[in-house]
Amino acid sequence: MLDDKQKRTFIALACKVAWADGVVTEEERASVAAIVSRLGGSPIQPAELDAWLKTGAPPAELSELPPAIGDMFIYEAMKLVEADHDMSDAEMRMIEDLVARVAKKHEGTTVAKIAVVKRPF
């Protein structure tokens, strides 16, 4: 279970992923709302979340989350960038950066080996 600070970080990171290409679509908004719901209650008000999705989220780092939750965030981030069926290069770079952070944390393990596979284009 995440505390309120960790939930804020998770939500802020999700908003940053939604913003990666400079446009937050309705599908991405719905994905962020689903994430908030799955977190079991939000420490932020709806107006604050709306502002984060309109103008950008506050600073947040993957390292602020417990390791297992940070790893799980990669899955949520992938679902989020795929929500509008249009993964931009900026969104893919953000995912690659997140995966690289996870790989570094798991250096020498199978997780790290999987994470460093580069996209073919």
pLDDT band at residue 58 under the 50/70/90 scheme? very high
The pLDDT tens digits of the residues spanning 71-108 come to 889 889 999 999 999 889 999 999 888 888 877 766 66
- Distance, CA of 111 to CA of 18 (rounded, Å): 25
Closest CA to 36 of 2, 63, 66: 2
Do the beta carbons of residue 106 and residue 115 sit within 8 Å? Answer: yes
**What pLDDT score was predicted for residue 5?**
94
Q: Distance between CA 7 and CA 88 in Å, rounded?
A: 26
**How much is the pTM?**
0.84
